[in-house]
Amino acid sequence: MLDEADFRARAAGFRDAFVDFDVYYAGKSFLCTTVARWVAEEGLCLDVCSNGELTVALRAGVDPAKLGYHGNNKSTPELARAIEVGVGRVVLDSFDEIERLATLTTGRSGDPVGVMIRVTAGVEAHTHEFIATAHEDQKFGFSISSGDALEAARRVLELPGLHLLGLHSHIGSQIFDTSGFEVAARRVLALHAKVREELGTEMPEMDLGGGFGIAYTTQDDPAEPSALAAQLGEIIEHECRALGVSRPRLSIEPGRAIVGPSMCTVYTVGTVKEVALDGGARRTYVSVDGGMSDNVRTALYDADYSCTLASRASTAPPVLARIVGKHCEAGDIVVKDEFLPADITAGDLVAVPATGAYCRSLASNYNHALRPPVVAVRDGVATVIVRRETEDDLLATDVGAHEGESR
Ligand SMILES: Cc1ncc(COP(=O)(O)O)c(C=O)c1O
């Protein structure tokens, strides 16, 4: 369930706080045509990272000039389409990609294609390994320390079909401590200055990525966009002064911090089972009608969530519960630990808040589960914006299922 007013308020909160930045909503966190329209209506740009996300954005009528195109393995046809539709910037991630773009743009008429170079700043973001993206030993970007990032800038500047807009750095996700951004900004700006000194080009832009943390449980204490904007702005001002470069036009790419808290997942309780733990304690396993097929973050990142009994009030004493899905994996856990009323039973509804980001967008058909709908609510009115999958959807691509029909 997606709260439209909350989503729009968070998008506008970033737009208004980061007043002299461009704010790109990271579509990978959650995207459908309705959300893409809200993003555009709130004056944000949109970051896509696949042909599919690009299709959704275009179908929603988003101005292609306001699209950024990411990805570590963009194919030649994908790049050709991005150029053809006129995306505002392509974020380069490899020398292979520069070659592909060189081939695609040689002899091409029209404006050069705007590109940014994604760099790895060697920062260890304090987050889960699989959502930290600026250390050296992972698949994204060009390393600053090895010299690859400078070499990428040199190659791009040799290509008349490309316009080097600037450097891009995304250090990871669910980050609360701005010191990672500070170290990254210092290193990226140092490279920005080096490109001017050694290659004679002052790039007009720089992107600091997304990754701003949100509250999944009461243990998390995220900063307001205004505080983040002030801190990041100060870091950049200070570094630009120290390096003697003018401040580039900055952009950020928040996803989770906009859509994450705007959505909650409502499950129906099925089986309830009590399990004895070592030492005599007991845990109640509450199975729900979904699981890792609609929220894989707990299994993938060991993520923490909370939940609440949403369909009725209860005065029963609290018991230690674990919300598990209906899939054939012991790791199919949605909420690891939560106290729920002892009388929780089949048919109750349980709501898990803060499931807007990287849940529905990472959903799968594991065990041939039907992916759930997304329902937008506004002023008490509920509207289905992504419908529930049907068995016909499930069988549509299973060509063997139609063999009988064709005989
Ligand atoms: C390049 C880039 N930008 C932005 C984001 C958005 O991160 P978040 O949703 O944590 O703000 C991601 C997330 O993976 C990313 O890879």
One-letter-per-residue 3-state SS of 216-262: CCCCCCCCCHHHHHHHHHHHHHHHHHHHCCCCCEEEECCCHHHHCCC
Residue nearest atom 12 of ligand 1, based on CA coordinates: 210
CA distances from 167 to 149, 156, 203, 209 (A): 9, 12, 8, 10
Domain with CATH 3.20.20.10 in the chain: 2-259
- Kindly list the catalytic residues: 328
Q: Which helix (H) or strand (E) holds 403?
A: helix 403-406
Domain with CATH 2.40.37.10 in the chain: 264-353+363-395
> What is the mean pLDDT of the segment spanning 139-144?
93
CA-212 nearest atom, ligand 1: 11
Topology of the domain covering 264-353+363-395: Lyase, Ornithine Decarboxylase; Chain A, domain 1 (2.40.37)
Residue from 253, 259, 297 to probe ligand 1 pocket by mutation (most atoms less than 8 Å from CB): 253
- Among all chains, which residue has been given the structure tokens 């304090």? 126
Asked if residue 10 has its Cβ within 6 Å of ligand 1, the reply is no
Distance of CA 130 to the CA centre of its chain: 13
Q: 95-99, 234-238, 339-343: which range is least confident on average?
A: 234-238
- The band of 404, judged by pLDDT with boundaries at 50, 70 and 90, is low
- The band of 180, judged by pLDDT with boundaries at 50, 70 and 90, is confident
Q: Cβ–Cβ contacts within 10 Å for residue 77, how many?
A: 11
Asked if residue 29 has its Cβ within 6 Å of ligand 1, the reply is yes
CA-260 nearest atom, ligand 1: 9
For the chain, percent of residues with pLDDT exceeding 90 = 87
Span from the CA of 212 to the centroid of ligand 1 (angstroms): 9
Please give the single-letter amino acid code of residue 114: G
Asked if residue 209 has its Cβ within 6 Å of ligand 1, the reply is yes
> What is the mean pLDDT of the segment spanning 83-101?
98
Asked if residue 348 has its Cβ within 6 Å of ligand 1, the reply is no
Span from the CA of 252 to the centroid of ligand 1 (angstroms): 9
Asked if residue 212 has its Cβ within 6 Å of ligand 1, the reply is yes
Q: Residues 250-267: pLDDT tens digits?
A: 999 999 999 999 999 999
Q: Residues 51-89: pLDDT tens digits?
A: 999 999 999 999 999 999 999 999 999 999 999 999 999
- The band of 349, judged by pLDDT with boundaries at 50, 70 and 90, is very high
Residue from 28, 74, 127, 128 to probe ligand 1 pocket by mutation (most atoms less than 8 Å from CB): 28
Asked if residue 225 has its Cβ within 6 Å of ligand 1, the reply is no
Contact 374, 385 (CB under 8 A): yes
Q: Residues 392-403: pLDDT tens digits?
A: 999 999 999 877
Asked if residue 88 has its Cβ within 6 Å of ligand 1, the reply is no
Q: How far apart are CA 57 and CA 47, in angstroms?
A: 9
Residue from 170, 232, 258, 297 to probe ligand 1 pocket by mutation (most atoms less than 8 Å from CB): 170
Contact 105, 83 (CB under 8 A): yes
Q: Residues 19-33: pLDDT tens digits?
A: 999 999 999 999 999
Contact 168, 119 (CB under 8 A): yes
- The band of 178, judged by pLDDT with boundaries at 50, 70 and 90, is confident
Which residue, among 265, 387, 271, 390, has the nearest Cα to 326 in the 3D structure?
271
Predicted confidence at residue 406, as pLDDT, reads: 54
What CATH number has the domain spanning 2-259? 3.20.20.10
